[in-house]
Amino acid sequence: MVISYRQEIPMDLQSILQTWINVLTKPGEAAFAAEREKTSATLSTAVLWIISSSIIAALLGALRSSVFSSAMGGFGQIVDLLPPEIQGEFGSIAETGAAGGAAFSFATIVIGPISFLIGVGIYHLIAIVLGGRGQYGRYAYLAATYSAPLMIVGSVLGFIPGLGGCLTMILGIYQVVLTYFAVKVEYGLSQGRAIVVVAVPVLAVLGLAICLATVVVGTLVAVFGGSQ
């Protein structure tokens, strides 16, 4: 695994935002080819961006949990009309949900960078196995040019009930498309091989999700079926 240690020129906030906007609004090989040649295209830049985005996402998540708690506070007037034992259950659910949401949000500060680096490593290894030639650090930078801003955008969309989840799913699909271009440019792969690099992890995650769903459904059927 090759990691780039090129001397980099610090980027100011305006340059960073412009980089993110260019990549997100002009998807294609040309955008990533231009970013690939920058002196800032290093692992350290990628990690800095992902950590910063994770912190922003965590703060937005905590704010979202606070808003949720306030909404539940207004809902409490209705809960007061219910029997005491049911009131207690609703109160426990609200407190647990708010506290758990805030805790998970701040856990993003740690989980975000770690999952990003692992994900980049997986794509890097698959690309190398398929004959690609590229650097882990430079690919991490290319991936961070869209992963970092999309992490923030996804957190903002979380404030929109219902619709936010759908939009986040669309962003996820768009991120896969951007990953294809980044992989193809950095590792010099053909279209078919670049698609394979991107598809393998996605299919693996989908397969795991299906297996887990099957186990959960099977367990529920066994439990409720046996109780009858």
- How large is the angle between the packed helices 13-25 and 29-36, nearest 10 degrees? 150
Instruction: Give me the number of domains the chain comprises.
Output: 1
Per the domain annotation, does 62 fall within a domain?
A: yes
Is 186 a member of any domain? yes
- The domain in which residue 168 lies consists of 13-227
For residue 97, is pLDDT > 50? no
For residue 133, being part of any structural domain is answered with yes
Of the candidates 126, 165, 171, 164, which has an alpha carbon nearest to the alpha carbon of residue 148? 171
Predicted confidence (pLDDT) per residue in 43-96, tens digit: 999 999 999 999 999 888 888 777 766 555 544 454 455 555 444 544 454 444
Across the chain, what does the average pLDDT equal? 82
CA–CA separation, 144 and 182 (whole Å): 10
| More confident: 52 or 98 | 52
Tens of pLDDT, residues 182-194: 999 999 999 999 9
Q: Exposure of 56 by Cβ count < 10 A (0-12 exposed, 13-18 middle, 19+ buried)? A: middle
Domain annotation covers residue 3 = no
pLDDT digits (tens, 9 = 90+) for 192-223: 999 999 999 989 988 988 998 888 888 877 77
The answer to whether position 119 is within a domain reads: yes
In a domain, 1, yes or no: no
Task: Dig out the tokens for 29 from the structure.
Answer: 């090989």
